[in-house]
Amino acid sequence: MSLLDVRNLSVSVEDLEILHGIDLKINKGETHVLMGPNGAGKSTLGYALMGNPGYSITGGQIYFNGLEISNDSADKRAKAGMFLSFQNPLEVPGISLSSFIRNAIVQKTGESIKYSEFKKELKKNMELLSFDDSYKDRDLNVGFSGGEKKKAEILQMLMLKPSLAILDETDSGLDVDAVRTVSKGVEEYQKNQDGALLIITHSTRILESLHVDYTHVLVKGKLITTGDSSLVDEINEHGFERFM
Amino acid sequence: MKMNMTINQLPTLTWNFLKLNSVNIDEEVALNNRGNLNVEDIPAGMTVERDGKLLANVKTGMGPALDEMMDERNVETLVVRSRAGAIIEKPLILRYSLGEGDGTLRRQEIIAEEGSELTVIMDYSAGRHESGFFGIQTKLYAKAGAVIHIVKTNLLGDKYLHFDAIGAEAEDDGVIDVTQLELGGGRNYVGLEADLRGRKSSYNGNVGYLQRKGQLLDMNYYIRHLGRKSNCELNVKGALDDDAVKNFRGTIDLVHGAKGAVGHELEDTLLLSKNVHNNTLPIILCDEDDVEGTHGASIGRLSEDVLFYMRSRGISEKAAEVLMTKAKLNSVQRLINDEGTVGRIQKYIEEAFGER
Amino acid sequence: MAGKRSQVKDIDRSIYDFRYKEDGFYKVDEGLTEDIVKQISKEKHDPEWMTEFRLRSLEIYNELKVPDWGPDISGLNMNDIVTYVRPNTNMKAKWEDVPDDIKNTFDRLGIPEAERTSLAGVGAQYDSELVYHNVKDEVLKQGVVYTDMESALRDHEDLVRTHFMKLVPPSDHKFAALHGAVWSGGSFVYVPAGVKVEIPLQSYFRLNAPGAGQFEHTLIIVEEGADLHFIEGCSAPKYNVANLHAGCVELYVGKNARLRYSTIENWSKNMYNLNTKRAICEEGASMEWVSGSFGSHVSYLYPTTILKGDNSHMQFNGITFAGKGQNLDTGAKVIQIGKNTSTVIDTKSISKDGGVSTYRSSVTVNKEAKNAKASVSCASLMLDDISRSDTVPAMDIKTDDCDIGHEAKIGRISDEAIFYLMSRGISESEAKAMIVSGFADPVAKELPLEYAVEMNNLINLEMEGAIG
């Protein structure tokens, strides 16, 4: 049984169909890359998988751990083990990064966690991401730079321990050092948490240090082709032209 | 005592159908002055005296009717004063403890002498579901270069009738800083006027509220810019749940001659139930050209974007509402420099959501 | 405090002198009586129900008080209201008596000679029938009724009877009641279902009858799926010796219909403009207001939209320019009732030479509304330190199922902006005029080109001389 099984999925935004019949299977621990030119519908797939109410499923189904989740709200999907890192994450004045994460863990697991354990793990993961310790007490994403917001998203992924993480353009707008740091976090998730990944990107920078199992190319709302990691290199060299 | 008076009148009138021009109070309250005031140790550099009354000319936002009522009944005035030049970090805590059936009128004056800085925390508490009447008047006067921080926490019983009349004046470079948490009380009327007379005088207001079943919060803020380069920042945020009613009147008056004055007000209201009623009336009066006045308001439930983000982290809609309400209150309560007071506020909030 | 400048001392007395130079007013010592109203009704050949309606309105008028908020209207002679209602219709003034500033404005705006005398109330009636005859013919082919109110009452009595003062009942306020009692003239438009009127229609009838510009009634019914743009007024100053305007506009926008109602109002600066405008939107309907207020001594003007139907929408773009001797209290009201209704209000106001402008609004979201959205934005520009600008917006929200945003800003033209333009070789006064034009641009953009040009001319005219 696949961890994620997307069957013939069509998705519309405000009556306009963006995705037309997507099929995609992701197994436990696998890393998939979704590439495609701007406007192909990559982010739409991420939002639809996570259950954004602005994106309506007009055909097909999504199965997660063998259960259909097509109509589940996003918090149900998160509790089932899905995670989406946002391109533009929410800013919440009045709630610190650490208390937000703790809240989410409590909500997700339905159990309270020991503060000392939480603190220890948070510290470890922040160090891994070269994320200055002071940020844990700052309001969630308020006044964070683009890079810091991305780190905060990856930090949440590491703390919430999903079984499938969807990273939506996590590398966009970052400098070389920041990409390297974020990759480190993703690597940690791959290795130590045996997490599956769907990495949505239109560049290839984040993939340099990561092990990739499958690469999919999305053009005009359709998955055109699927290959192994060598497809990444090919696109890196020749772009998307041959798929258009 | 029979009360029949008009309070919280707008500085400028508008359509009567909005029912916001003023509030008419017509009811009987039992006055027994049972409420207990506990003054914890007085920080060095401050004096506390009973029965002064030095700020008769300072107007409050609730209007003259309350002054008249207090004068008629010879309500004692507590006077807090700082020594000139004294920078006093430790807050003075005035803890008013009320109980079931208490009916109390109080007044207090806080005077910061030249170049001094002081903090007064005024904690108004009663048992969670107790009823009674608590009317208090607070007048503030910041002399040149002085800074007054006051913190007001309303943890009164949810059947209490509460009047809070605040009046303030600031001389040159004087600062009036008011942090307010309106959590308890049944029907709460708050009227604040700040006259920024001095050059570069300023008013800093932060209000956080959570109003729930059967609660009313009626606010009238009137900030008058009289001095050149005077400055006002008024931030009001909170949440309404169940059948709570909130009226917010906020007037920034840029008076002729207040060159270089800047007044900002911002209101952020989270609505948590279909039975709430929110009235917002942010007014700017402008009689001067070299000034800047802005206001913004955002009223509604959690937006789809916020909700989706929260949900993607496994946080349900109900939990997200609690989290966002706490966030709003947190950003106000973190301005309070006293752990004990913050702890009491947090306990109150936790209990409130525990009942939800 | 608001309104303290509403008593403007230095208003040009010649405007009033002009009025009193003429004798022969229909002079009645007591207030407005039943007999006078009956007389008006008889002269207009009203059907019986209309006579009764007028008399009922008169009763309400006598009961109601003048507003206790807003600009001062004590300059209106309420005890002798009849002088506003029945000026001597045979009165002929002389062109020489028309104040110079008005003549000057005619010149500057390039108003044709024939129209000038009519606008100033001193010449023969400007024969607008001729000008608009072709327009009327063209829309007639589409089944559109486009006529004056008196004809409508005669030829479409049922339609008028079921709609007349149903949206704005005489009990609404004192001047609505007065209007109900003494209304005269105005426009009637009926657009049948599905008809899209390509050319904007205009309220030209205002020029046809003496005194008709004072208490005129506009009634527009746009049926399901139909589309209309209606333009009221023009940029030329309309001069009227009887200086009270209490018009009424009622707009019925049917299912999925769209109505755009544009106004550029430039009454002469002795006018008390107490006008009431209201629209109701059925399911999927769209109401668009474009409103420019430049004239009048005192204005109370808040076009109201009732978003009754699901998915109905309203948009309001307004500009108010208050100059010397003016106290203009303008804004908008909306009541959101249906599901998925939306409101966008965007207003600008400019105060100059001691003028007072007030932006006043209310957004009401009813308890039964679902997913209501409203976005309100108002900006005010102070051009000197003897003027005044107030902002009084209210939001009355009775449900959580809504998203309401509001922002307001008051300030002056930034020195940096003027410096920037001057550094490019533009004079200070030109720079200021440019910035004010830019400020007004969002409203100008909503107007047909020729009106936008006129409005711009008007702004330039108002800007001239006073600053720089």
Check if the beta carbon of residue A19 is closer than 8 Å to that of residue A62: no
Q: Mean per-residue pLDDT for C95-111?
A: 64
Round to whole Å and give the CA distance between A226 and C324: 73
* pLDDT tens digits for range C359-373: 999 999 999 999 999
> What sign for the dihedral angle of Cα B78, B83, B84, B85?
negative
| Contact predicate B266/B295, CB 8 Å | yes
Question: Is residue C238 very low, low, confident or very high in pLDDT (cuts 50, 70, 90)?
Answer: low
Residue C455 has pLDDT above 90, yes or no: no
Q: Do chains A and C touch (3 or more CB pairs under 8 A)?
A: no
Model confidence pLDDT, tens digit, residues C159-172: 999 999 999 999 99
In chain A, the domains with their CATH numbers are: 4-243 (3.40.50.300)
Would you state the pLDDT for residue B254?
A: 98
pLDDT-derived band at C463 (thresholds 50, 70, 90) equals confident
Give pLDDT, residue C459. 85
pLDDT exceeds cutoff 50 at C259? yes
Does residue C125 register a pLDDT over 50? no
Set of chain B residues whose Cβ sits within 8 Å of the Cβ of A72: none
Averaged pLDDT for residues C129-144: 71
d(CA B299, nearest CA chain A) in Å: 16
Neighbours, chain B (3 or more CB pairs < 8 A): A, C
Mutation to test the B interface, candidates C397, C402, C409, most B Cβ within 10 Å: C397
Q: Give the one of A54, A83, A92 whose C-beta lies nearest to B304's C-beta.
A: A54
Work out the pLDDT band at C446, boundaries 50, 70, 90. confident
In the prediction, which pLDDT does A209 show?
80
pLDDT tens digits along C33-70: 898 899 889 988 999 999 999 999 999 999 999 888 99
Please give the residue that has the higher pLDDT: either C144 or A108.
C144
Answer whether B308 sits within 8 Å of A53, measured CB to CB: yes
CA distance B333 to chain A (A): 9
Amino acid C22: pLDDT:
31
Of the partner residues B309, B312, B327, the one whose CB lies closest to the CB of residue A95 = B327
Backbone angles phi, psi at C79, to 5 degrees: -75, -20
Using a CB-CB distance cutoff of 8 angstroms, which residues of chain B are in contact with residue C392?
12, 14, 281, 283
Q: Which residues of chain A have pLDDT under 50?
A: none
CB–CB contact A78 B314 (8 Å): yes
CB B282 within 8 A of CB C408: yes
For chain C, first and last CA: distance in Å?
Answer: 28
Q: Work out the average pLDDT over C348-366.
A: 96
**Subunit contact C380:B14, Cβ cutoff 8 A:** no
Residue C47 dihedral angles phi and psi, to the nearest 5°: -70, 165
Position C108 scores a pLDDT of 62
Closest CB from B14, B277, B287 relative to C398: B277
pLDDT at position A172 = 79
Q: How far apart are CA B137 and CA B123, in angstroms?
A: 14
ipTM above 0.85, yes or no: yes
Residue-level pLDDT at C249: 96
Q: Are B77 and B108 in contact (CB under 8 A)?
A: yes
- How far apart are alpha carbons A72 and B62 in whole angstroms? 51
A139 in contact with B, Cβ within 8 Å: yes
H or E segment and range at residue C180: helix C174-182
Residue scoring higher pLDDT (C269 or B187): B187
Query: Smallest Cα–Cα separation from B253: which of B236, B230, B235?
Result: B230
CA distance C296 to chain B (A): 21
C356: pLDDT strictly greater than 80: yes
What the block records as the tokens of A76 is: 């149900």
C404 Cβ under 8 Å from any chain B Cβ:
yes
In this model, does residue C307 exceed pLDDT 60?
A: yes
Closest-CA distance of chain C to residue B266, Å: 9
Residue C5 has pLDDT above 60, yes or no: no
Find, among B255, B309, B307, the residue nearest to B286 by Cα: B255
Contact C205, C75 (CB under 8 A): no
Of A82, A83, A107, nearest to B316 by CB-CB distance is: A107
Backbone angles phi, psi at B145, to 5 degrees: 70, 5
- Beta carbons within 8 Å of A242's beta carbon, 6+ residues apart: none
pLDDT (tens digit per residue) in B285-323 = 999 999 999 999 999 999 999 999 999 999 999 999 999
Cα dist from A71 to A41, B168, B318, B330, C355, whole Å: 20, 56, 19, 35, 59
* Local confidence band at C92 (pLDDT 50, 70, 90 cut-offs): very low
Phi/psi region, residue C399 (left: phi>0; alpha: psi -120 to 50; beta: rest), is: beta
Neighbour subunits, A (≥3 Cβ pairs < 8 A): B
CA distance A95 to B327: 5
Q: Would you kindly state where each structural domain of chain C is located, as residue ranges?
A: 127-463
* B94 at interface of A, judged by CB pairs closer than 8 A: no
As a whole number of angstroms, the distance between CA A4 and CA C82 comes to 82
Pick out chain B residues at pLDDT < 70. Answer: 355-356
- Give B21's contacts in chain C (Cβ within 8 Å): 69
Q: What percent of chain C has pLDDT over 70?
A: 76
Return the residue of B nearest to C355 by Cα: B287
Instruction: Please report residues of B whose CB lies closer than 8 A to that of A160.
Output: 313-314
Residues of A within 8 A of B323 (CB-CB) are: 92, 95, 100, 103
Cα–Cα distance measured from residue A146 to residue A87, given in angstroms and rounded to the nearest whole number: 9
Confidence of residue C236 (pLDDT cuts 50, 70, 90): low
Query: How high is the pLDDT of residue C8?
Result: 33
pLDDT band at C10; cut points 50, 70, 90: very low
State yes or no: pLDDT of C178 exceeds 90: yes
Interchain proximity B283–C392, CB inside 8 Å: yes
